[in-house]
Structure 1
Amino acid sequence: MPSFNLKVNKTHTYDAIVIGSGISGGWAAKELCEKGLQTLVLERGRMVRHVEDYPTMNNDHWDFEHRGKLTDEDKKKYHIQVRSGFIDESNKHFYNNDLDSPYTEVKRFDWIRGNQVGGRSLLWGKQCYRWSDLDFEANAKQSIGVDWPIRYKDLESWYTYVEKYVGISGEKLGLSHLPDGHFLPPMELNCLEKHVKGSIEKTYKGRHLTIGRVAHLTEPINGRGQCQNRNRCSRGCPFGAYFSSNAVTLPAADATGKLTLRPNSQVASIIYDEKLGKAKGVKVIDSETKEEIEFYARIIFLNASTLGTTQILLNSTSSRFPNGLGNDSGELGHNLMDHHYRVGAMGSYDGFEDQYYKGRRPNGIFIPRYRNLDEASKMKDFIRGYDYQGAGGRGNWGGGISGGGVGAEFKDSLFAPSSWGMSLVGFGECLPYHENKVTLNQDAKDKWGLPTLSIDAEFKTNEMAMRKQMKEDAVEMLENAGLKNVTPFDYSGGIGVGVHEMGTARMGRDPKTSVVNANSQLHAVPNVFVTDGACMTSSSCVNPSITYMALTARAADFAVNELNRKNL
């Protein structure tokens, strides 16, 4: 168990500062420390140590006072977080108290947050899919937003680099629009999932069903244990079987002796030196004492989450940057995206009564995108595409809770599994609309006196047309596979509930239309790097976290090389 250095040095001066300790911040810390830089990681939330700060990791359902349910008081504290459907009594300590973390919803926006050391790496779904040139080239080909300044070849080796360290289990498919990666052995599909896979691949040319590519170890690596199929991931994994900053990258950074970690540190702004034309440090407010402190470094990595990073940049004003650090283009805060999902279908299946499965697999199925790949799959009502996640399963003894009955016969019936069922849930791409934006609300300050965010974003006509097709396809695929009582659903909610917010400090070639360049540097402030979701120029339809990791490792390598050349 690492014993993190939490005590800052007397000069408050470091080689590098990383703001945020989540998925991308942990990677920045690891890479910079391993390359020899004295690195300070600032985290706005509380300290969370691997294993020892996972209080519910081994609890059974009956160990919770309310059997996992949130109380009415909790629902008030977490009134935004409950929109996700992910929070309950077992993991609420890893989610933000919304009363302490206000923001303004011009239109509904479900901002799901976990401010603590490790951030949402303790809560993420762990699905990991590489982007392809279909994604990187789409904006340019369709004259939407701005073109990405990078292509798949620029990230390919970095994808491999991070995958080998993270540990991704999955199956290779040989699809050009979903590049294969470096995989551990895949988890196994159950009998109904295999049946539906066979039906889909026989019925539809170009459609595939596979097990999810997921950051869960199916065999031990680097001292981490393999997944035990407990499906208690959101409570923290004591085996280190799923990837988190707490279990993997922060301990690696700490092992170098170069890491200083400071939780409870609200970064108010980045300090810009107008004479040097560079950033020289950050201004921090201690969350507990409200003391204002300044820390200094040669390079700064912003990894505070998409909206957290942009909030800091917008609040970092000076005579050179009156509208936010690096905001010469005026694009800072604009082009907010998220995946739209919670649309699809579910049904039941008569059969396989003699079969079940072992454990509680923390993973589901994946159907890669098959629309708008080429002329043959082009749709007239929308551009871009979608994929599906989901799972097949069989009911257990809980199926008898709401049923009637008494006596021995009723009790015996609880040991008989109920019928099989399966769901398909679509994940669709959102376009980068300039009018989907965040701004600072100077009239609504948080309890540390910092301006909060006002969020004005929505899904539009293209996403709505896509959702219609996503629902129809899901129904058709399940019915063709022989499922009964197939029921479509569409619970769109607000933008944000996909928890894949991206954009607001987009990457591009031209400083007049983008915020960061191909190396993840602010165009106008070259020693500040943005490698979390804020830098994304489009959203694809696959989960983005492995791309953040690859971008971060690549930017850290570039930054250290530039420091060594005395270019920063």
Structure 2
Amino acid sequence: MNIQAKGKESVTYDAIVVGSGISGGWAAKELTQKGLKVAMIERGRDVEHISGYTTAMQESWEFEHRGRVDNQARKDYWAGVRTGYTANEEHRHFFEKDIDNPYEETRRFDWIRGYHTGGRSLLWGRQSYRWNEKDFTANLEDGIGIDWPVRYKEIEPWYAYVEKFAGISGSKEGLDVLPDSEFQPAMELNCVEREVKKGIESKFPDRKMIIGRVAHLTNPTEEQKELGRSQCQFRNRCMRGCPYGAYFSTQAATLPAAKKTGNLTLINDKIVYQVIFDDEKKKAIGVKAIDQNTKEEVEFFAKVIFLNASAVNSAWILMQSKSKTHPNGLGNASDQLGRNIMDHHLGVGAGGKWDGFKDMYYFGRRPNGIYIPRFTNWGKDKRDFVRGFGYQGGASRGRASSDGFGKELKDANTQVGDWGINLGGFGETLPDPSNRFTLTENKDKWGLPIINFDAAWGKNEWKMREAMEAEAANMLEAAGVKDVHTFHDKEKAPGIGIHEMGTARMGHDPKTSVLNKHNQVWGAENVYVTDGAFMVSSSCVNPSLTYMAFTARAADHAVNELKKMNL
């Protein structure tokens, strides 16, 4: 049955939020709590908290292939297999089959998608770091891309706001390069990590090694407990979904908060592909969508629209939203829509062994590692590239190895192996308008245009990667780590960090950007984009915390503008 048969009133809301991932969940929470009737439209199926995490309590031996990738999965998840993320049978049901959701590549791009309630908020690495003041001025200072229209001081209170609700565990360090958050108690470094920390910091006074800052509850607040959340159980099976609600996800945090207001309508299986723009009213009035199961076309209407479909899909929607006023796509007078794709580059670093602590082990499986904040091009450190990188990694003990078989192999596998430690670099990517995606004439099974990616790392990223490899080895060797070896996967392509950014950037001018400083589309100010599409540069830290802060800020702005009758 066509939803419109029920009448336009039944599909009209104060606000529409497209997408239910990290930023979409935040938009729904903020808008409903401020009194708006909100429709959150998700293109994929519904996944309910706890009951939807079907593999959360299974042991490795209960999976048919012991969690490994089988031959059929290699075909179905061809792009995901390249990254190593998506085809593991423990959690592959939360990722989309690439064979059913095709895309094209002029230059390789690993596009990882999760279409269901919660999106990739069920799958993210949960590393949560604030940007620093320089991150917001670097483009201007380096003459790269365009200047951010926002500065750190403007977003600082919003960082604090979202951190208190989400729950970020970490340690206060007082670093300019990595501002402190509103923290819950930090997780602990293990014995080897503490020794390596001492070695690195004594030999390199300008560098710090700290515990990662993660969106895991270690001491839940009363507000978090009321939503049904509890502290982290150190199972490290997070990508299966957390039945305890210990890590931040839409299902565990923002969705139940939005539902408590009675103002939320969650709509699943509807692929939004276009914003409806009224040329006479000079504003958007709704969205068009296709039911992913029946292929029925439907429309929804609202006073304000938040696009949170992910950086690529939000720009894909804007590209298809053409009108007399916006012939090149909504807000695309600058021709920047789909351009400036950024991601974080990784797959390079070093590892080694630690002698000693043979009698030591650790309790549980900590879902977190160490973090070494950026030190290149900071202070007195100057390089032949701009910007910088951090390191993530950690120390652990595996099983003892054996070249034998039968009883000898079984006996070895019951013993604990040596301590090992690794540092993996995580580098900033510069905005480049030639790194982009376009719409092809080819269509998917819903009759919607397929995307073609054309992006690659630039000269700056390749120079940075050399330093990422060398400095990782230098630090480990200086700290006393043995048998240090480096690694550098030169086949890694954009998309590997799953941090797509920049496809509908904000700016000062509609001639050079798609959004204004409040995340509003130029010329359609009742449309907000607050996922990774709005980013103007990428920093070298995980971006999700920044998406949360900007989304909360934009929702506050939208409600205030609605009250003033400006939207």
TM-score (norm. length: structure 2): 0.96
For 2:185 and 2:83, the matched residues in 1 are separated by 31
What is the aligned partner in structure 2 of residue 417 from structure 1?
416
Letter in 2 for 1:505: A
1:423-461 superposed Cα distances (whole Å, 9 cap, x missing partner)? 0000000000011111111x2111100001111111010
Q: CA deviation at 1:479?
A: 1.1
Output the CA distance in 1 between the equivalents of 2:189 and 2:375: 21
1:247 aligns with 2:272: no
Match of 1:450 in 2: 448
- Computed over aligned residues only, the root mean square deviation of the Cα atoms, in angstroms, reads 1.3
Find the aligned partners of 2:9 and 2:93 in 1 and give their Cα distance: 33
- Taking the aligned partners of 1:8 and 1:194, their CA distance within structure 2 comes to 64
What is the aligned counterpart of 2:466 among 465, 468, 490? Answer: 468
1:387 matched to 2:386: no
Give the superposition deviation at 1:86: 2.1
The answer to whether the Cα contact below 8 Å between 1:438 and 1:455 also exists between their aligned partners in 2 is yes
Quote the offset at 1:413 in angstroms: 4.3
Do the aligned residues in 2 keep the contact of 1:329 with 1:511 (CA within 8 Å)?
Answer: yes
| 1:369-384 paired onto structure 2 within 5 Å | 369-374=374-379, 376-379=380-383, 381-384=384-387
User: Residue by residue, what CA displacement relative to the aligned partner does 1:196-234 show, whole Å, maximum 9, x if unpaired?
Assistant: 100011000210000000001112331211111111000
C-alpha distance 8-343 of structure 1, shift in aligned 2 (>3 A) = farther
Residue in structure 1 matched with residue 348 of structure 2 by the alignment: 343
Shift of 1:524: 1.2
**Distance in structure 2 (CA, Å) of the matches to 1:273 and 1:425:** 49
> Counterpart of 1:284 in 2: which secondary structure?
strand
Give the distance between the partners of 2:511 and 2:405, measured in 1 at CA: 70
- The CA deviation at 1:350 is 1.3
Counterpart for residue 539 of structure 1 = 538
- Cα shift readout 1:219-264 (whole Å, capped 9, x = no counterpart): 2331211111111000000000000001110111111110001111
In the TM superposition, what are the counterparts of 1:451-530 in structure 2 within 5 Å? 451-492=449-490, 493-530=492-529
User: Aligned with 1:198: secondary structure?
Assistant: helix
Distance 2:542 2:255 in 1: 22
Q: Does 1:266 align with 2:266?
A: no
> Structure 1 residue 322: deviation in Å?
1.4
Query: For residue 203 of structure 1, what is the aligned residue in structure 2?
Result: 203
Superposed displacement of residue 491, structure 1: 1.2
1-structure distance, mates of 2:77, 2:15 = 34
Asked if structure 2 preserves the Cα contact closer than 8 Å seen for 1:8 and 1:260, the reply is no
Deviation per residue, 1:260-307 (Å, 9 max, x gap): 011111012000000111000000101111111110000000000000
Q: Is the 8 A contact 1:387 1:427 kept in 2?
A: yes
Match of 2:17 in 1: 18
Q: 2 CA distance for matches of 1:231 and 1:455?
A: 33
Opposite residue 421 of structure 1, the aligned amino acid is G
State the partner residue of 2:152: 152
Runs of 4+ residues deviating >3 angstroms? 7-10, 409-415
Cα distance 1:125–1:8, how it changes in 2: closer, same or farther (>3 A)? farther
Query: For residues 540 and 504 of structure 2, what CA distance do their matches in structure 1 show?
Result: 19
CA offset digits 1:136-172 (Å, max 9, x no partner): 0000011111100000111111000000000000011
How far is the alpha carbon of 1:9 from its aligned partner? 8.5
- Give the CA deviation at 1:509: 0.7
| Distance (Å, rounded) in 2 between the aligned partners of 1:168 and 1:72 | 39
Q: Which residue of 2 aligns with 1:566?
A: 565
Residues 112-511 of structure 1: matches in 2 within 5 Å? 112-221=112-221, 222-223=224-225, 224-374=229-379, 376-379=380-383, 381-396=384-399, 399-400=400-401, 403-407=403-407, 412-441=411-440, 443-492=441-490, 493-511=492-510
CA shift at 1:411, angstroms? Answer: 5.0
Separation (CA, whole Å) in 2 of partners of 1:330 and 1:430: 21
- Alpha-carbon distance between aligned partners in 2 of 1:91 and 1:83, rounded to the nearest angstrom: 16
Moved more, 83-92 or 146-155: 83-92
- Structure 1 unaligned residues grouped into runs of 5+: 1-6
Deviation by residue 1:30-73 (Cα, 9 ceiling, x = unmatched) = 00000000000111111100000111000001110111112111
Normalised by the length of structure 1, the TM-score is 0.96
User: Against the structure 1 CA distance between its residues 204 and 438, is the aligned structure 2 distance closer, same or farther, given a 3 Å change threshold?
Assistant: same
Kindly indicate whether the alpha-carbon contact (under 8 Å) linking 2:271 and 2:290 is maintained by their aligned counterparts in 1.
Answer: yes
Residue matched to 1:51: 50
Q: CA offsets per residue over residues 376-395 of structure 1, 9 Å max, x none?
A: 1111x200000000010011
- Structure 1 Cα separation of the partners of residues 487 and 520 of structure 2: 42
Is the 1:516–1:523 contact (alpha carbons within 8 Å) kept by the matching residues of 2? yes
Alignment partner of 1:539: what SS? coil
1:410 Cα offset (Å): 6.2
Contact 2:167/2:220, CA 8 A, preserved across alignment:
no
> Which position in structure 2 is the counterpart of 1:3?
none
- Partners of 2:514 and 2:485 in 1: CA distance: 44
Q: Letter of the 1:390 partner, please give it.
A: G
Question: Equivalents in 2 of 1:271, 1:145: separation in Å?
Answer: 30
Q: CA deviation at 1:74?
A: 1.1
CA distance in 2: counterparts of 1:356 and 1:8, whole angstroms? 64
